[in-house]
Amino acid sequence: MGDKYMKAKVLIVMGSDSDLPVMDKTGDMLKEFNIPYQMTVSSAHRTPERTLKLVKNAEKNGVEVIIAGAGAAAHLAGVIASHTTLPVIGVPIDSSSLNGIDALFSTVQMPPG
């Protein structure tokens, strides 16, 4: 997904395929502003090694910002941020009986640093 012919400036990562309808809107907005991006699925819990590799490759390949979307426990943005100095934007996604409040708190109540 994203523009295959330009080097991605933004990496969009989501924790599950079920997050795609929300994160597709992020890609649409980036397209509107002609910002090249790459979008992929990688879970902080199910595929942590893959997530770490994505982050390290993003740094090497000139990505300037990472957008991480996840629902429920929503640890993806925090896990990514702990492995990079790149800016990480967390997107809490409504995917549980708590209507996204759990994802919101997991995303915004990360310790500083």
Looking at CATH, the fold of the domain delimited by 10-108 is given as Rossmann fold (3.40.50)
Sorting pLDDT into bands at 50, 70 and 90, what band is 39?
very high
Nearest to 11, CA basis, from 48, 51, 47, 44: 51
**Whole-prediction pTM value?**
0.81
pLDDT of residue 21: 92
**Separation between Cα atoms, residue 2 and residue 52, nearest integer Å:** 21
DSSP 54: H
Q: What is the pLDDT of residues 17-33, one digit of tens each?
A: 988 998 999 999 999 99
**Separation between Cα atoms, residue 68 and residue 76, nearest integer Å:** 6
pLDDT of residue 5: 46
Domain boundaries, the chain: 10-108
Whether the predicted pLDDT of 102 surpasses 80: no
Q: What is the pLDDT of residues 61-91, one digit of tens each?
A: 999 999 999 866 668 988 999 999 999 998 8
pLDDT of residue 107: 59
Whether the predicted pLDDT of 104 surpasses 90: no
Nearest to 25, CA basis, from 52, 5, 58, 1: 1
